[in-house]
A = this chain, B = another copy of it.
Protein backbone atom coordinates (compact mmCIF):
# COMPACT_ATOMS: atom_id res chain seq x y z
CA UNK A 1 0.00 0.00 0.00
CA UNK A 2 1.32 3.40 -0.89
CA UNK A 3 1.93 6.13 1.67
CA UNK A 4 -1.19 7.97 2.88
CA UNK A 5 -1.48 11.44 1.47
CA UNK A 6 -1.14 14.36 3.83
CA UNK A 7 -3.44 17.33 3.35
CA UNK A 8 -2.57 20.53 5.19
CA UNK A 9 -5.40 23.01 5.71
CA UNK A 10 -4.55 26.53 6.85
CA UNK A 11 -7.46 28.28 8.55
CA UNK A 12 -10.37 26.75 10.44
CA UNK A 13 -13.10 29.08 9.30
CA UNK A 14 -16.12 27.92 7.35
CA UNK A 15 -13.97 26.89 4.35
CA UNK A 16 -11.17 25.07 6.17
CA UNK A 17 -13.56 23.20 8.44
CA UNK A 18 -15.60 22.06 5.45
CA UNK A 19 -12.45 20.56 3.93
CA UNK A 20 -11.56 18.85 7.22
CA UNK A 21 -15.05 17.43 7.61
CA UNK A 22 -15.03 16.19 4.02
CA UNK A 23 -11.74 14.39 4.61
CA UNK A 24 -12.56 13.14 8.12
CA UNK A 25 -12.37 9.36 8.61
CA UNK A 26 -11.09 8.91 5.05
CA UNK A 27 -7.85 7.30 4.00
CA UNK A 28 -5.73 10.47 4.25
CA UNK A 29 -3.91 12.35 7.00
CA UNK A 30 -5.07 15.89 7.65
CA UNK A 31 -3.39 18.71 9.57
CA UNK A 32 -5.56 21.72 10.31
CA UNK A 33 -3.59 24.83 11.29
CA UNK A 34 -5.17 27.94 12.77
CA UNK A 35 -3.80 30.84 14.78
CA UNK A 36 -6.84 30.64 17.07
CA UNK A 37 -7.94 27.60 19.05
CA UNK A 38 -11.56 28.21 18.12
CA UNK A 39 -13.75 28.34 15.07
CA UNK A 40 -15.73 31.55 15.08
CA UNK A 41 -19.25 31.96 13.77
CA UNK A 42 -18.56 35.39 12.30
CA UNK A 43 -22.14 36.20 11.20
CA UNK A 44 -23.06 36.70 14.87
CA UNK A 45 -19.92 38.55 15.90
CA UNK A 46 -21.75 41.89 15.87
CA UNK A 47 -23.96 40.53 18.66
CA UNK A 48 -20.89 40.00 20.85
CA UNK A 49 -19.80 43.56 20.05
CA UNK A 50 -23.19 44.87 21.13
CA UNK A 51 -23.35 42.81 24.34
CA UNK A 52 -26.08 40.44 23.21
CA UNK A 53 -24.02 37.26 23.30
CA UNK A 54 -20.91 36.00 25.06
CA UNK A 55 -17.83 35.14 23.00
CA UNK A 56 -18.07 31.45 23.92
CA UNK A 57 -21.63 31.32 22.57
CA UNK A 58 -20.47 31.78 18.99
CA UNK A 59 -17.13 30.02 19.13
CA UNK A 60 -16.20 26.38 19.51
CA UNK A 61 -12.77 24.82 20.08
CA UNK A 62 -11.51 23.48 16.74
CA UNK A 63 -10.32 20.33 18.48
CA UNK A 64 -13.83 19.59 19.70
CA UNK A 65 -15.31 20.06 16.24
CA UNK A 66 -12.96 17.50 14.66
CA UNK A 67 -12.83 15.27 17.74
CA UNK A 68 -14.44 12.35 15.96
CA UNK A 69 -12.00 12.33 13.05
CA UNK A 70 -8.91 10.43 14.23
CA UNK A 71 -7.10 11.29 10.99
CA UNK A 72 -7.39 15.07 11.57
CA UNK A 73 -4.73 16.75 13.63
CA UNK A 74 -5.06 20.34 14.91
CA UNK A 75 -2.16 22.76 15.37
CA UNK A 76 -2.38 26.20 16.97
CA UNK A 77 0.17 28.19 15.02
CA UNK A 78 0.66 30.87 12.38
CA UNK A 79 1.97 30.22 8.89
CA UNK A 80 4.99 32.31 8.02
CA UNK A 81 5.70 30.89 4.57
CA UNK A 82 5.19 28.13 2.05
CA UNK A 83 7.87 26.28 0.07
CA UNK A 84 5.99 25.06 -2.97
CA UNK A 85 8.96 23.23 -4.51
CA UNK A 86 9.73 21.14 -1.43
CA UNK A 87 6.03 21.15 -0.49
CA UNK A 88 6.11 22.29 3.09
CA UNK A 89 4.59 25.03 5.23
CA UNK A 90 6.78 26.99 7.64
CA UNK A 91 5.17 27.98 10.95
CA UNK A 92 5.92 30.80 13.34
CA UNK A 93 6.93 28.32 16.05
CA UNK A 94 9.70 27.04 13.78
CA UNK A 95 7.92 23.83 12.83
CA UNK A 96 7.65 22.83 9.22
CA UNK A 97 4.83 20.67 7.95
CA UNK A 98 5.12 18.77 4.67
CA UNK A 99 2.06 18.41 2.48
CA UNK A 100 0.87 16.57 -0.55
CA UNK A 101 -2.03 18.98 -0.96
CA UNK A 102 -2.29 22.39 0.64
CA UNK A 103 -5.61 24.17 1.17
CA UNK A 104 -5.43 27.84 2.12
CA UNK A 105 -8.55 29.23 3.74
CA UNK A 106 -7.25 32.09 5.83
CA UNK A 107 -10.09 34.54 5.30
CA UNK A 108 -9.90 38.31 5.25
CA UNK A 109 -9.30 41.29 7.50
CA UNK A 110 -10.85 44.72 7.20
CA UNK A 111 -9.22 47.15 4.84
CA UNK A 112 -9.11 50.91 5.15
CA UNK A 113 -8.54 51.60 1.44
CA UNK A 114 -5.02 52.80 2.05
CA UNK A 115 -5.91 54.79 5.18
CA UNK A 116 -4.43 52.46 7.78
CA UNK A 117 -4.24 55.39 10.19
CA UNK A 118 -8.04 55.13 10.52
CA UNK A 119 -7.75 51.68 12.09
CA UNK A 120 -6.98 53.14 15.52
CA UNK A 121 -10.18 55.20 15.56
CA UNK A 122 -12.56 52.99 13.59
CA UNK A 123 -12.03 49.35 14.57
CA UNK A 124 -13.50 46.64 12.40
CA UNK A 125 -15.05 43.36 13.39
CA UNK A 126 -13.37 40.09 12.47
CA UNK A 127 -12.24 38.39 15.70
CA UNK A 128 -13.49 37.85 19.23
CA UNK A 129 -10.97 40.42 20.42
CA UNK A 130 -12.26 42.97 17.91
CA UNK A 131 -15.74 42.36 19.25
CA UNK A 132 -14.89 42.66 22.95
CA UNK A 133 -12.82 45.78 22.24
CA UNK A 134 -15.75 47.37 20.43
CA UNK A 135 -18.15 46.30 23.19
CA UNK A 136 -15.87 47.99 25.71
CA UNK A 137 -15.80 51.15 23.63
CA UNK A 138 -19.59 51.37 23.22
CA UNK A 139 -20.34 50.59 26.87
CA UNK A 140 -17.65 52.99 28.10
CA UNK A 141 -19.07 55.78 25.94
CA UNK A 142 -22.37 55.43 27.80
CA UNK A 143 -20.59 55.46 31.16
CA UNK A 144 -18.57 58.54 30.21
CA UNK A 145 -21.64 60.32 28.89
CA UNK A 146 -23.46 59.63 32.14
CA UNK A 147 -20.91 61.65 34.13
CA UNK A 148 -20.06 64.24 31.44
CA UNK A 149 -21.14 67.77 32.29
CA UNK A 150 -20.26 69.49 28.98
CA UNK A 151 -23.27 69.04 26.66
CA UNK A 152 -21.03 69.02 23.55
CA UNK A 153 -18.83 66.29 24.98
CA UNK A 154 -21.83 64.29 26.01
CA UNK A 155 -23.30 64.56 22.53
CA UNK A 156 -20.06 63.38 20.93
CA UNK A 157 -19.87 60.47 23.37
CA UNK A 158 -23.38 59.40 22.44
CA UNK A 159 -22.85 59.65 18.68
CA UNK A 160 -21.99 56.39 16.93
CA UNK A 161 -20.88 56.26 13.32
CA UNK A 162 -20.93 53.03 11.34
CA UNK A 163 -19.06 53.18 8.05
CA UNK A 164 -20.28 50.77 5.39
CA UNK A 165 -23.82 49.76 4.47
CA UNK A 166 -23.33 46.06 3.80
CA UNK A 167 -24.91 43.39 6.01
CA UNK A 168 -22.36 43.91 8.82
CA UNK A 169 -22.82 47.68 8.83
CA UNK A 170 -26.61 47.41 8.78
CA UNK A 171 -26.62 44.85 11.59
CA UNK A 172 -24.16 46.86 13.69
CA UNK A 173 -26.08 50.12 13.28
CA UNK A 174 -29.35 48.46 14.27
CA UNK A 175 -27.80 46.70 17.24
CA UNK A 176 -26.02 49.80 18.55
CA UNK A 177 -29.24 51.80 18.26
CA UNK A 178 -31.11 49.16 20.26
CA UNK A 179 -28.34 48.85 22.85
CA UNK A 180 -27.98 52.58 23.40
CA UNK A 181 -31.70 53.18 23.50
CA UNK A 182 -32.68 50.22 25.65
CA UNK A 183 -29.98 50.29 28.31
CA UNK A 184 -30.04 54.04 28.52
CA UNK A 185 -33.76 54.04 29.16
CA UNK A 186 -33.49 51.57 32.00
CA UNK A 187 -30.12 51.91 33.63
CA UNK A 188 -28.90 55.47 33.34
CA UNK A 189 -29.92 58.56 35.27
CA UNK A 190 -28.44 61.59 33.52
CA UNK A 191 -28.71 60.62 29.87
CA UNK A 192 -31.91 59.77 28.04
CA UNK A 193 -32.52 57.56 24.98
CA UNK A 194 -33.01 60.47 22.60
CA UNK A 195 -29.57 61.82 23.48
CA UNK A 196 -27.96 59.08 21.41
CA UNK A 197 -27.45 59.25 17.67
CA UNK A 198 -26.44 56.44 15.32
CA UNK A 199 -25.31 57.32 11.79
CA UNK A 200 -24.74 54.79 9.04
CA UNK A 201 -22.58 56.07 6.20
CA UNK A 202 -22.52 54.31 2.84
CA UNK A 203 -20.59 55.48 -0.22
CA UNK A 204 -22.86 53.70 -2.70
CA UNK A 205 -26.39 54.74 -3.69
CA UNK A 206 -28.12 52.17 -1.45
CA UNK A 207 -27.68 49.82 1.51
CA UNK A 208 -27.14 46.05 1.09
CA UNK A 209 -26.01 46.26 -2.53
CA UNK A 210 -25.98 42.49 -2.90
CA UNK A 211 -29.74 42.49 -2.25
CA UNK A 212 -32.55 43.56 -4.63
CA UNK A 213 -33.38 47.25 -4.57
CA UNK A 214 -36.74 46.95 -2.82
CA UNK A 215 -35.16 45.08 0.09
CA UNK A 216 -32.44 47.74 0.32
CA UNK A 217 -35.16 50.32 0.68
CA UNK A 218 -36.98 48.27 3.31
CA UNK A 219 -33.75 47.92 5.28
CA UNK A 220 -33.28 51.68 5.17
CA UNK A 221 -36.81 52.33 6.39
CA UNK A 222 -36.42 49.77 9.20
CA UNK A 223 -33.17 51.35 10.33
CA UNK A 224 -34.75 54.79 10.32
CA UNK A 225 -37.62 53.48 12.45
CA UNK A 226 -34.96 52.38 14.93
CA UNK A 227 -33.63 55.93 14.94
CA UNK A 228 -30.60 55.35 12.73
CA UNK A 229 -29.68 58.17 10.33
CA UNK A 230 -28.71 56.68 6.98
CA UNK A 231 -26.41 58.76 4.77
CA UNK A 232 -26.17 57.26 1.28
CA UNK A 233 -23.77 58.34 -1.46
CA UNK A 234 -21.49 59.72 1.22
CA UNK A 235 -17.80 59.05 1.24
CA UNK A 236 -15.69 59.20 4.37
CA UNK A 237 -12.82 61.61 3.90
CA UNK A 238 -11.12 61.36 7.27
CA UNK A 239 -11.54 59.56 10.57
CA UNK A 240 -10.06 60.96 13.76
CA UNK A 241 -10.32 60.19 17.44
CA UNK A 242 -13.20 62.63 17.85
CA UNK A 243 -15.15 62.22 14.64
CA UNK A 244 -15.62 61.50 10.98
CA UNK A 245 -15.32 63.94 8.07
CA UNK A 246 -17.48 63.60 4.96
CA UNK A 247 -18.12 66.06 2.16
CA UNK A 248 -21.27 67.19 3.95
CA UNK A 249 -19.49 68.06 7.17
CA UNK A 250 -17.75 66.83 10.28
CA UNK A 251 -19.60 64.49 12.63
CA UNK A 252 -18.28 64.64 16.18
CA UNK A 253 -18.31 61.07 17.49
CA UNK A 254 -16.01 59.14 19.80
CA UNK A 255 -17.14 55.73 18.57
CA UNK A 256 -16.75 54.83 14.91
CA UNK A 257 -17.09 51.29 13.57
CA UNK A 258 -15.55 50.19 10.31
CA UNK A 259 -17.66 47.84 8.20
CA UNK A 260 -16.72 49.15 4.77
CA UNK A 261 -14.02 47.04 3.23
CA UNK A 262 -12.11 43.82 3.60
CA UNK A 263 -8.69 42.73 2.47
CA UNK A 264 -7.83 39.07 1.97
CA UNK A 265 -5.17 37.54 4.22
CA UNK A 266 -1.53 37.48 3.17
CA UNK A 267 -1.70 34.15 1.34
CA UNK A 268 -0.66 35.76 -1.96
CA UNK A 269 2.70 36.62 -0.40
CA UNK A 270 3.30 33.02 0.67
CA UNK A 271 2.48 31.85 -2.85
CA UNK A 272 4.27 34.74 -4.60
CA UNK A 273 1.17 35.39 -6.69
CA UNK A 274 -0.11 38.79 -7.72
CA UNK A 275 -3.39 39.25 -5.85
CA UNK A 276 -6.41 41.15 -7.07
CA UNK A 277 -7.31 44.61 -5.81
CA UNK A 278 -8.56 43.31 -2.45
CA UNK A 279 -5.66 40.94 -1.87
CA UNK A 280 -7.41 37.79 -3.09
CA UNK A 281 -5.53 35.01 -4.84
CA UNK A 282 -6.88 34.23 -8.33
CA UNK A 283 -7.89 30.57 -8.67
CA UNK A 284 -9.10 28.48 -11.56
CA UNK A 285 -12.51 26.84 -11.80
CA UNK A 286 -11.07 23.88 -9.81
CA UNK A 287 -9.97 26.33 -7.03
CA UNK A 288 -6.30 25.60 -7.64
CA UNK A 289 -3.73 28.32 -8.26
CA UNK A 290 -2.06 28.62 -11.63
CA UNK A 291 1.06 26.50 -12.01
CA UNK A 292 0.75 24.43 -8.81
CA UNK A 293 -1.90 21.72 -8.82
CA UNK A 294 -1.09 20.86 -5.17
CA UNK A 295 -2.38 24.18 -3.79
CA UNK A 296 -6.03 25.12 -3.38
CA UNK A 297 -7.23 28.52 -2.18
CA UNK A 298 -10.83 28.94 -1.01
CA UNK A 299 -13.19 31.27 0.80
CA UNK A 300 -12.52 34.97 1.31
CA UNK A 301 -8.87 34.45 0.38
CA UNK A 302 -9.68 33.31 -3.15
CA UNK A 303 -10.86 35.25 -6.15
CA UNK A 304 -13.05 32.71 -7.91
CA UNK A 305 -15.13 33.86 -10.85
CA UNK A 306 -18.69 32.75 -11.40
CA UNK A 307 -20.23 31.90 -14.78
CA UNK A 308 -20.67 35.56 -15.59
CA UNK A 309 -17.04 36.32 -14.84
CA UNK A 310 -17.78 38.10 -11.56
CA UNK A 311 -15.92 37.22 -8.34
CA UNK A 312 -17.95 35.17 -5.87
CA UNK A 313 -18.86 37.13 -2.71
CA UNK A 314 -16.98 36.67 0.57
CA UNK A 315 -19.74 34.89 2.45
CA UNK A 316 -19.90 31.73 4.52
CA UNK A 317 -21.89 29.59 2.03
CA UNK A 318 -19.29 30.13 -0.71
CA UNK A 319 -16.48 29.08 1.62
CA UNK A 320 -18.38 26.02 2.85
CA UNK A 321 -19.30 24.82 -0.63
CA UNK A 322 -15.75 25.40 -1.83
CA UNK A 323 -14.38 23.44 1.12
CA UNK A 324 -16.66 20.49 0.42
CA UNK A 325 -15.70 20.66 -3.27
CA UNK A 326 -11.97 20.58 -2.51
CA UNK A 327 -12.41 17.59 -0.19
CA UNK A 328 -14.29 15.73 -2.94
CA UNK A 329 -11.66 16.69 -5.50
CA UNK A 330 -8.83 15.41 -3.34
CA UNK A 331 -10.58 12.14 -2.56
CA UNK A 332 -11.48 11.52 -6.18
CA UNK A 333 -7.92 12.36 -7.18
CA UNK A 334 -6.60 9.71 -4.82
CA UNK A 335 -8.68 7.05 -6.50
CA UNK A 336 -7.79 7.99 -10.06
CA UNK A 337 -4.11 8.75 -9.92
CA UNK A 338 -2.38 10.68 -11.23
CA UNK A 339 -4.72 13.30 -9.79
CA UNK A 340 -2.79 16.07 -11.47
CA UNK A 341 -3.97 14.89 -14.87
CA UNK A 342 -7.66 14.32 -14.19
CA UNK A 343 -9.97 16.89 -15.66
CA UNK A 344 -12.00 18.27 -12.79
CA UNK A 345 -15.62 19.32 -12.86
CA UNK A 346 -15.50 23.07 -12.19
CA UNK A 347 -16.78 24.49 -8.92
CA UNK A 348 -20.25 26.01 -9.16
CA UNK A 349 -21.67 28.08 -6.32
CA UNK A 350 -25.25 27.48 -5.46
CA UNK A 351 -26.77 30.55 -3.84
CA UNK A 352 -29.63 29.58 -1.52
CA UNK A 353 -30.38 33.14 -0.53
CA UNK A 354 -29.25 36.20 1.38
CA UNK A 355 -30.37 37.40 4.78
CA UNK A 356 -29.65 40.47 6.86
CA UNK A 357 -31.18 41.47 10.16
CA UNK A 358 -31.75 45.02 11.26
CA UNK A 359 -32.95 44.68 14.81
CA UNK A 360 -35.71 43.24 16.92
CA UNK A 361 -38.40 41.87 14.57
CA UNK A 362 -36.78 43.38 11.50
CA UNK A 363 -34.86 41.63 8.71
CA UNK A 364 -34.74 41.25 4.95
CA UNK A 365 -34.39 37.95 3.07
CA UNK A 366 -33.78 37.38 -0.62
CA UNK A 367 -34.37 33.85 -1.93
CA UNK A 368 -34.37 34.73 -5.62
CA UNK A 369 -38.02 34.83 -6.56
CA UNK A 370 -39.11 35.01 -2.94
CA UNK A 371 -38.35 38.27 -1.15
CA UNK A 372 -39.39 38.72 2.47
CA UNK A 373 -39.00 41.49 5.02
CA UNK A 374 -40.21 42.28 8.51
CA UNK A 375 -41.13 39.87 11.27
CA UNK A 376 -41.21 36.68 9.19
CA UNK A 377 -37.78 37.39 7.68
CA UNK A 378 -36.47 38.08 11.17
CA UNK A 379 -37.79 34.75 12.47
CA UNK A 380 -36.21 32.96 9.52
CA UNK A 381 -32.96 34.77 10.18
CA UNK A 382 -33.01 33.55 13.81
CA UNK A 383 -33.82 29.96 12.93
CA UNK A 384 -31.24 29.75 10.13
CA UNK A 385 -28.47 31.25 12.25
CA UNK A 386 -29.14 28.88 15.11
CA UNK A 387 -29.24 25.99 12.67
CA UNK A 388 -25.84 26.83 11.19
CA UNK A 389 -24.14 27.46 14.53
CA UNK A 390 -21.47 24.93 15.44
CA UNK A 391 -22.35 22.59 18.29
CA UNK A 392 -25.56 21.77 20.10
CA UNK A 393 -24.51 23.67 23.19
CA UNK A 394 -24.03 26.91 21.28
CA UNK A 395 -27.37 26.42 19.54
CA UNK A 396 -29.15 26.00 22.87
CA UNK A 397 -27.32 28.89 24.51
CA UNK A 398 -27.85 31.34 21.67
CA UNK A 399 -31.50 30.32 21.28
CA UNK A 400 -32.15 30.71 25.00
CA UNK A 401 -30.29 34.01 25.07
CA UNK A 402 -32.31 35.43 22.23
CA UNK A 403 -35.55 34.30 23.78
CA UNK A 404 -34.52 35.87 27.09
CA UNK A 405 -33.49 39.14 25.41
CA UNK A 406 -36.65 39.19 23.36
CA UNK A 407 -38.87 38.76 26.39
CA UNK A 408 -36.98 40.97 28.83
CA UNK A 409 -35.52 43.63 26.48
CA UNK A 410 -32.14 43.17 28.17
CA UNK A 411 -28.71 42.34 26.86
CA UNK A 412 -26.92 39.68 28.74
CA UNK A 413 -23.25 40.37 28.20
CA UNK A 414 -22.85 44.04 29.10
CA UNK A 415 -19.35 43.46 30.41
CA UNK A 416 -16.55 45.95 30.09
CA UNK A 417 -13.41 43.82 30.22
CA UNK A 418 -9.81 44.87 29.93
CA UNK A 419 -8.42 47.54 32.21
CA UNK A 420 -11.49 49.71 32.30
CA UNK A 421 -10.95 53.07 33.75
CA UNK A 422 -7.43 54.01 32.85
CA UNK A 423 -7.65 52.51 29.37
CA UNK A 424 -11.14 53.77 29.00
CA UNK A 425 -10.16 57.27 29.88
CA UNK A 426 -7.16 57.00 27.57
CA UNK A 427 -9.24 55.87 24.62
CA UNK A 428 -11.48 58.87 25.02
CA UNK A 429 -10.25 62.44 25.11
CA UNK A 430 -8.60 63.25 28.40
CA UNK A 431 -10.44 65.29 30.94
CA UNK A 432 -13.85 64.99 29.43
CA UNK A 433 -14.87 67.31 32.17
CA UNK A 434 -12.63 69.83 33.83
CA UNK A 435 -11.88 68.85 37.43
CA UNK A 436 -14.44 70.63 39.52
CA UNK A 437 -14.55 71.25 43.21
CA UNK A 438 -18.24 71.86 43.18
CA UNK A 439 -20.22 68.72 43.33
CA UNK A 440 -22.04 68.17 40.08
CA UNK A 441 -23.30 64.79 41.17
CA UNK A 442 -25.27 66.05 44.09
CA UNK A 443 -26.74 68.79 42.02
CA UNK A 444 -27.97 66.36 39.44
CA UNK A 445 -29.43 64.06 42.04
CA UNK A 446 -31.26 66.64 44.04
When the two chains form the complex, which single residue of B59, B97, B129, B435 contacts A441, counting CB atoms closer than 8 Å?
Answer: B97
Q: Which residues of B contact A439 (CB under 8 A)?
A: 88, 96-98
Q: Which residues of B contact A85 (CB under 8 A)?
A: none
Q: Which residues of B contact A434 (CB under 8 A)?
A: 94
A147 touches B (CB below 8 Å): yes
Report, nearest first, the 3 A-B pairs whose CB atoms are least far apart.
A94-B435, A63-B187, A56-B413
Interface residues of A in 406-446 (CB under 8 A from B): 408, 410, 412-422, 424-425, 431-442, 444-446
In the complex, the chain B residue whose C-beta lies closest to that of A100 is B442
Q: A56-B415, A415-B56, A432-B93 are in contact. Are A147 and B77 (CB under 8 A)?
A: yes
When the two chains form the complex, which single residue of B67, B78, B96, B404 contacts A436, counting CB atoms closer than 8 Å?
Answer: B96
In the complex, the chain B residue whose C-beta lies closest to that of A86 is B437
Q: Decide if A73 touches B415 in the complex (CB within 8 Å).
A: no
Q: Decide if A64 touches B414 in the complex (CB within 8 Å).
A: yes
List the one stretch of A31-39, A113-121, A213-221, A266-274 in contact with chain B: A31-39
When the two chains form the complex, which single residue of B186, B415, B425, B444 contacts A55, counting CB atoms closer than 8 Å?
Answer: B415
- Residues of chain A at interface, number, CB under 8 A: 82
- Give residues in A with beta carbon < 8 Å to B: 3-4, 6, 29, 31, 35-38, 54-57, 59, 61, 63-64, 67, 70-71, 73-78, 88, 92-98, 128-129, 132, 139-140, 143, 146-147, 183, 186-189, 393, 396-397, 400, 404, 408, 410, 412-422, 424-425, 431-442, 444-446
The number of times this chain is found in the oligomer is: 2
Q: Which residues of B contact A432 (CB under 8 A)?
A: 93
When the two chains form the complex, which single residue of B61, B128, B129, B425 contacts A92, counting CB atoms closer than 8 Å?
Answer: B425
Q: Decide if A93 touches B425 in the complex (CB within 8 Å).
A: yes
Q: Which residues of B contact A147 (CB under 8 A)?
A: 75-77, 93, 95
* Residue in A63, A400, A417 whose Cβ sees the most chain B Cβ within 10 Å: A417
Q: Decide if B435 touches A96 in the complex (CB within 8 Å).
A: yes
